[in-house]
Amino acid sequence: MKGIVFTEFLEMVESEFGLETVDAIIEASDLPSDGIYTSVGTYEFNEMVTLLTNLNKIVDKPIEDLLYAFGLYLFSSLGKAHPEVIQSYNSPIGLLYSIEDHIHVHVQKLYPDAELPTFKILEKTDTSISMVYSSSRGLYRLAHGLIEKCFEHFNASAQVSFEVLKEDGTEVRFDVVQSA
């Protein structure tokens, strides 16, 4: 998993729960990286699982909710780090439609060792999109937060529902309908 995900995760933890919590989860985690990340480095996905598990214990919030909150935070971080990647889109549905074929393709060029999910589009209209998230990492609540924030980014809003197709969260269908 790319370092930018770790650096932004720790920033989110700091802004929501304070620097003491950042220190506490790193101390509790016994990580190969010692909790020191650079945005272009690559680290074991397991480190993220450990950090999330310890955050869940310390702040007593479900991991799913923490991932969702992180998704909201991460969309803005990615947009700031790589404005050129999202600049060409003028609608949230247009952006979501392009994750698989454009955005993450570009991301893979920027970070050749990025491990990205896939999004299979099932249906799309001007105001709705249905797609299936697939990833061995099962971070669909992170995707959920990213999708919600994408609408906010365009000063829009949406009803986002999801159906877990595989129990371990590695395949999840999203149905997204833009609000008037």
Residues lying near ligand HEM in the complex (CB under 6 A): 1-2, 4-5, 78, 82, 85-86, 96, 99, 103-104, 107, 111, 114-117, 135, 137, 139, 142-143, 146-147, 150
Distance of alpha carbon 98 from alpha carbon 96, whole angstroms: 5
How many CB atoms are located within 10 Å of the residue 78 CB? 19
> Using an 8 Å Cβ cutoff, are 91 and 129 in contact?
no
Q: Considering the complex, state which of residue 24 and residue 147 has its C-beta at the smaller distance from ligand HEM.
A: 147
Q: Considering the complex, state which of residue 51 and residue 139 has its C-beta at the smaller distance from ligand HEM.
A: 139
Please provide residue 13's backbone torsions phi and psi, each rounded to the nearest 5 degrees: -60, -45
Instruction: Tell the smallest beta-carbon distance from residue 4 to ligand HEM (Å).
Output: 6
Q: Considering the complex, state which of residue 24 and residue 95 has its C-beta at the smaller distance from ligand HEM.
A: 95
Distance of alpha carbon 54 from alpha carbon 48, whole angstroms: 10
Instruction: Tell the smallest beta-carbon distance from residue 113 to ligand HEM (Å).
Output: 7
Q: Which residues does 175 contact at the CB level (< 8 Å), separation at least 6?
A: 128, 130, 160, 161, 162, 163
Supply the Cα-derived Rg of the chain in whole angstroms: 16
Residue number closest to ligand HEM, CB atom: 135
Joined together, the tokens standing for residue 95 give 């952006």
Instruction: Tell the smallest beta-carbon distance from residue 34 to ligand HEM (Å).
Output: 19
Instruction: Tell the smallest beta-carbon distance from residue 101 to ligand HEM (Å).
Output: 12
Q: Considering the complex, state which of residue 69 and residue 114 has its C-beta at the smaller distance from ligand HEM.
A: 114
Q: Considering the complex, state which of residue 29 and residue 77 has its C-beta at the smaller distance from ligand HEM.
A: 77
